[in-house]
A and B are shown apart, each in its own frame.
Chain A
Amino acid sequence: MNWWEQELSGVGYRIYGEPEPPRLVFEGSLRLNGMAEYQPLTDWLGQIVAAAPPQMILDVRSLKFLNSSGINVLSRFVIQVRQKGNIHLTVRCNDGIPWQHKSLVNLQRLLPTLDLDFCHEF
């Protein structure tokens, strides 16, 4: 199955892929318990790195909450993208969600070419 045809969902969250433009959309609140519960997402992100789309978007504009284990999963993905070297990554963020201001800027420290695209109204 292509990476964009998959979906992960649970209580309070949904993550799905779209092929054009290639993007992964996060909705709701992600507060899973440790790296074990995040393993399906970690595996999915690993599949995207292996597929190496030239442009990739993480769309978190509707992700209201992410715990530190989830921040770890996104950071790991960004480091893998940096190591791969041929994927241009954009993170679409929401100016109205406080955790995104606080935490997503760290992703740019891991990958300076990453675009953080904050929208003001969504």
Chain B
Amino acid sequence: MTRVYGAFVEPLGDCWEYLTLVFSPLTVPLSERWRTNSISANFMADYVTHLFPGGQWPLLLSYGLADLHGAVNYIVNELLENAMKFCTPDSTSPVTISLEIYPEQLIFRVENAISPDSAERLQKVIGQLLSHSPQELYLQKLEANAVEDDPGSGLGYLTILNDYQAHLGWKILPGIPDWRVTTLVQLSHPRGER
């Protein structure tokens, strides 16, 4: 049964334009694609910030070019790093990232295969993220990471929530042999505007 968490929404009717990148593990293993994440993140940030010349996009106007570019670059990079790290290693299905451009917001949508065990762990993380204040959880995590030697920092989603004031949502779809997870980030106007 499909499970939906947080601010997840299906694509909306007023999507102006969108950009999708697809990474297939059949050509290069996803673990070896790490170095290309910066190219993808920079490209997506360049693309959306130059798509509407003349300042016709309300979201770009309220952020300013440098801040919107920085936010898109950071969020895409973190989402791709997570997808490459946690997708099922031997899966043949691709990792897909889409950037949906709306007048008043951007939606980032990443889809990848995930093992049932990883899906269980993800659901616990989601439960924590949705039941605490991002700043409180973020500082707790930093303090805990200072004394634990965990191979992952666990900060990707928390920095997106806390530092960029974005909203996160997930859709988890059980399957055989792999499950699919879609992670969604909604980036709206900076706090205090609009």
- A interacts with B: yes
The interface-forming segment of A15-23, A50-58, A75-83 is A75-83
Asked whether A79 lies within 8 Å of B159 as measured between CB atoms, the reply is no
Asked whether B159 lies within 8 Å of A103 as measured between CB atoms, the reply is yes
B67 at the interface (CB under 8 A from A): yes
Asked whether B151 lies within 8 Å of A31 as measured between CB atoms, the reply is no
Secondary structure class of chain B's binding surface, majority of residues: helix
A120 at the interface (CB under 8 A from B): no
B116 at the interface (CB under 8 A from A): no
B35 at the interface (CB under 8 A from A): yes
CA A96 – CA B87 in complex, angstroms? 35
With contacts A33-B34, A34-B85, A76-B145 known, is A98 near B155, CB below 8 A? no
Asked whether A72 lies within 8 Å of B78 as measured between CB atoms, the reply is no
Instruction: Give the chain B neighbours of A69 by CB distance below 8 A.
Output: 152-153, 155
Instruction: Give the chain A neighbours of B143 by CB distance below 8 A.
Output: 79, 110
CA A14 – CA B37 in complex, angstroms? 19
Q: Distance (Å) between the CB of A94 and the closest chain B CB?
A: 11
Asked whether A79 lies within 8 Å of B153 as measured between CB atoms, the reply is no
Between A33, A68, A71, A80, the greatest number of chain B beta carbons within 10 A of the residue's beta carbon is seen for: A68
Asked whether A31 lies within 8 Å of B77 as measured between CB atoms, the reply is yes
Point out the residue from B81, B146, B151, B156 that lies within 8 Å of A80, measured CB to CB: B146
B149 at the interface (CB under 8 A from A): yes
Instruction: Give the chain A neighbours of B1 by CB distance below 8 A.
Output: none
B17 at the interface (CB under 8 A from A): no
Chain B contacts with A in 39-95, Cβ cutoff 8 A: 66-67, 69-71, 73-74, 77-78, 81, 85
CA A95 – CA B100 in complex, angstroms? 29
Point out the residue from A35, A102, A110 that lies within 8 Å of B139, measured CB to CB: A110
Binary flags per residue of B137-162, CB closer than 8 Å to A gives 1, else 0: 01100110110011111011011001
Instruction: Give the chain B neighbours of A68 by CB distance below 8 A.
Output: 78, 81, 153, 155-156, 158-159
Instruction: Give the chain A neighbours of B105 by CB distance below 8 A.
Output: none
Instruction: Give the chain B neighbours of A67 by CB distance below 8 A.
Output: 77-78, 81
Point out the residue from A36, A71, A80, A97 that lies within 8 Å of B155, measured CB to CB: A71
CA A80 – CA B142 in complex, angstroms? 11
CA A11 – CA B39 in complex, angstroms? 13
The 7 closest A-B pairs by CB, nearest first: A98-B70, A72-B153, A68-B155, A102-B163, A79-B146, A75-B142, A68-B156
Known: A35-B149, A98-B67, A106-B142. 8 other contacts (CB 8 A): A31-B38, A35-B150, A65-B73, A65-B77, A72-B142, A72-B145, A79-B143, A102-B70
18 A-B residue pairs with CB within 8 Å: A11-B35, A31-B77, A65-B38, A65-B73, A67-B78, A68-B81, A68-B159, A69-B153, A71-B155, A75-B142, A79-B142, A79-B143, A96-B66, A98-B66, A98-B67, A102-B74, A110-B142, A110-B143
